[in-house]
């Protein structure tokens, strides 16, 4: 999706979906739209990040695998294999949000499993983005 001049820039940042898709993929708060998946991952990553700091624990390096359902849901939706609603996007976003603090800690501590996961996600995201943009 590209930003168009008739979009409100804040709406674009919060929703980053085409106006015709926002009803199906975003939560509406007043006249603003907020991406359901991003709402889930942001809330969960902040809450879980604070919790692991308070408890002083480090999640295991493979914890980033919790974000796999979000990538499957996002990729499947982008490639047109299936559609899912706001509830699924929010749920998979929460799972991804639980993975993010441990994932960041793993990358910062040079955990090779987390670093390999980072490169795998970047490759997957780039490939799906290129495939979907090439078809439009």
Does residue 31 sit within a domain? no
- For 21-49, what is the mean pLDDT? 86
Q: How high is the pLDDT of residue 3?
A: 47
Residue position matching structure tokens 């699924």: 88
How many CB atoms sit inside 10 A of residue 125's CB? 14
Range(s) of the domain holding residue 96: 36-134
- pLDDT one-digit tens code per residue, 110-130: 767 667 777 776 777 677 666
Does residue 113 sit within a domain? yes
Does residue 101 sit within a domain? yes
Does residue 129 sit within a domain? yes
10 vs 7: which has the higher pLDDT: 10
What average pLDDT is seen over the chain? 78
The whole-angstrom separation of Cα 8 and Cα 126 is 27
- pLDDT one-digit tens code per residue, 69-103: 888 888 888 788 887 888 998 999 999 888 888 77
Domain count, the chain: 1
| pTM over 0.95, yes/no | no
Question: Quick check: 59 pLDDT over 90?
Answer: no
Instruction: Give the DSSP H/E element, type plus range, for residue 77.
Output: helix 68-78
Q: How high is the pLDDT of residue 61?
A: 66
């Amino acid at each position: 999706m590209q930003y168009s001049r008739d979009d409100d820039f804040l709406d674009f940042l919060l929703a980053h979906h085409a106006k015709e898709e926002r009803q199906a993929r975003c939560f509406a708060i007043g006249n603003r739209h907020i991406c359901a998946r991003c709402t889930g991952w942001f809330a969960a990553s902040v809450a879980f990040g604070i919790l692991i700091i308070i408890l002083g624990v480090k999640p295991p390096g493979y914890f980033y695998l919790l974000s796999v359902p979000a990538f499957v849901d996002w990729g499947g939706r982008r490639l047109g294999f299936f559609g899912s609603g706001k509830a699924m996007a929010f749920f998979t976003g929460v799972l991804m949000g639980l993975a993010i603090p441990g994932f960041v800690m793993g990358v910062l501590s040079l955990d090779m499993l987390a670093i390999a996961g980072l490169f795998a996600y970047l490759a997957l995201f780039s490939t799906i983005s290129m495939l979907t943009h090439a078809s439009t």
